[in-house]
Structure 1
Amino acid sequence: MHNTHFAFFDESSKKEIRRAILKAVAIPGYQVPFASREMPIARGWGTGGLQITLSIIGKPDVLKVIDQGADESVNAVSIKKLVHETTGVKLTDQTKDASIIQSRHRIPEVPLTKDQIIVLQVPEPEPLRKVEAKEYVTKKLHAEKEYSAAWLMLFEQIMKFGRTSTAEDHPVYVHNRYVMAPSPIPRFDNPKMHQSDALMLLGAGREKKIYAIPPYTEVKSLAFEDYPFTVESFEGKSCHLCGATKTFLDEMIDPETGDAIYQCNDTSYCISRLNENEKSEVAESYV
């Protein structure tokens, strides 16, 4: 891609986005408006996260991009190609080697460190949108710390299903102040936001909002005392490839038997475990 600017944007654009990021870090969970730029990808395909990544990335950085756990999906490959061609930074599939991780719908299985930043792509940043359509009203509710509508939404789920039924994007309470949409990550990933070593940045390009969770911030998933928050359970199940039992698993159908089998959603984590298992088998063969 022919472009005169490092990381696609001109410096003024990157500074404006970085100022919004700094404000978001200073006020955890607060949605900061920003002038979302036109991008060479369609809105809704990660433009918010991509604008954050392009604004903070530097030549020494190493980038990893995942889409619903996969490093080689169309969305992930397209974003990696754009960033690499406009910056020349190194790319990796390994979570531990990345300084910046841009993700759609997942937080990696490998624990993040204080030297890393994860950028989450967000389609709908407003956690109250399902109960209130007007933007000026939701802003007022956040200002007044009035979240009864969010609690009512969970209460209605319990009355209807006997439990909270949000499969993803379950709202969280950040720093005992703002209710926040964690992006469409599964419930399984919500606890990873609490007291995270890494800085978490969330961007919604279409909705023109940036918000953040600084390292070591209190993040609690909304839940009632008598109906505590729970994550998806994979008890008794394991990845049919690497044998992992403590990861988020995708259910699949064995084409040969027709039975349900399970596989790690985080593909790079699964491959790493497979490589480690192969090394162990080779080492044991020499014992």
Structure 2
Amino acid sequence: MNEHINFAFFDEGSKREIRRATLKAVAIPGYQVPFASREMPIARGWGTGGLQLTLSCILPEDHLKVMDQGSDESVNAISIKNLITSTTGVQITQDTGQATLIQSRHRIPEVPLSAGQILVLQVPTPEPLRHVEPRERLTKKLHAEAEYSGAWLMLFEQIMKYGRMATGADHPVRTAGRYVMAPSPIPKFDNPKMDHSEALILLGAGREKKIYAVPPYTSVVSLDFEDVPFEAESFAGKKCCLCGAEHVYLDEILEADGTVRYQCNDTSYCLNRRSRREEN
């Protein structure tokens, strides 16, 4: 830890302000709470909202995991880990089960999260109604009136055009039977993981200055229709070429000779499976 910088980078007043907004978000699942987004030593749009949540929640005894689109070793993940460790001295882990605090971009880990863990998701666009209403004042009114026909209209237009709901990621969800929220650009495959999750899920958008949350054991239902139910990506009949995992989110890799192979998107999950297989 850098002794010339305050623990977790921020001054204590800034951390208290972010924590107050976070507590309000936890108390009202799915509701977007405005907060005074701070200037960070990384550009807005590179995870400043999630990073501010992590820095305001982290404790010296925490074990931190940072992943970016399934990888623990991407440039973005490494840069965030370097900043956090240099200002806190906390231990870093790639093992989801050992982590007490997980910051992620575009994925929820394959290993089911447990009670006591906190998952922080980076969010570029927190407003699920932004595509139908650009004015913030009116989107707030729509949320207050629970008027979400615009979200269903977007999905209906996709069905009419493509024959299915074509949201590859960031498929809107209804939280605790009330607020419709953007789950961050996670693939539809990860949406069911939010439903009644044992872990606390925090979502932060630094550029948009919003924090929202999904408390543990909260209902999270992906929007759909009675005659067109929600369907996540299917990898039936496919498995990871490295660890043999099935029923996980897989990356499709095209080889130079034209053959296609599949590999776990969650790299630490894949490494742990291979390590256990070698030990046995």
| Residues 71-128 of structure 1: per-residue CA shift (max 9 Å, x gap) | 0000000000000000000000110010000000000000000010000000000000
| 3-state SS in 2 of match to 1:120 | strand
CA distance in 1, matches of 2:111, 2:41: 31
| 3-state SS in 1 of match to 2:66 | strand
One-letter amino acid of the structure 2 residue matched with residue 22 of structure 1: L
What residue in structure 1 maps to residue 63 of structure 2? Answer: 62
CA distance in 1, matches of 2:275, 2:5: 41
- The correspondence of residues 207-246 of structure 1 with structure 2, limited to 5 A, is 207-246=208-247
CA distance in 2, matches of 1:249, 1:260: 12
| Residues 197-249 of structure 1: per-residue CA shift (max 9 Å, x gap) | 00000000000000000000010000001100011011111111001111100
One-letter amino acid of the structure 2 residue matched with residue 264 of structure 1: C
* Percent of aligned positions that are identical: 70
* Structure 1 residue 183 displacement after superposition: 0.1
1:269 aligns with 2:273: no
| 3-state SS in 2 of match to 1:210 | strand
| 3-state SS in 2 of match to 1:97 | coil
What residue in structure 1 maps to residue 80 of structure 2? Answer: 79
CA distance in 2, matches of 1:211, 1:100: 17
Q: Give the aligned CA root-mean-square deviation in angstroms.
A: 0.8
What residue in structure 2 maps to residue 29 of structure 1? Answer: 30
The alignment covers a number of residue pairs equal to 279
What residue in structure 2 maps to residue 278 of structure 1? Answer: 278
| 3-state SS in 1 of match to 2:140 | helix
| 3-state SS in 1 of match to 2:97 | helix
CA distance in 2, matches of 1:152, 1:253: 36
- The correspondence of residues 1-287 of structure 1 with structure 2, limited to 5 A, is 3-255=4-256, 257-280=257-280
| Residues 44-72 of structure 1: per-residue CA shift (max 9 Å, x gap) | 00000000000000100010000000000
Q: Which blocks of at least 5 consecutive residues in structure 2 are unaligned?
A: none
CA distance in 2, matches of 1:231, 1:182: 14
CA distance in 2, matches of 1:210, 1:112: 21
CA distance in 2, matches of 1:267, 1:155: 35
What residue in structure 2 maps to residue 283 of structure 1? Answer: none
CA distance in 1, matches of 2:181, 2:220: 9
| 3-state SS in 1 of match to 2:64 | strand
* Structure 1 residue 2 displacement after superposition: 6.6
* Structure 1 residue 258 displacement after superposition: 2.3
One-letter amino acid of the structure 2 residue matched with residue 237 of structure 1: K
CA distance in 2, matches of 1:14, 1:100: 16
* Structure 1 residue 3 displacement after superposition: 3.9
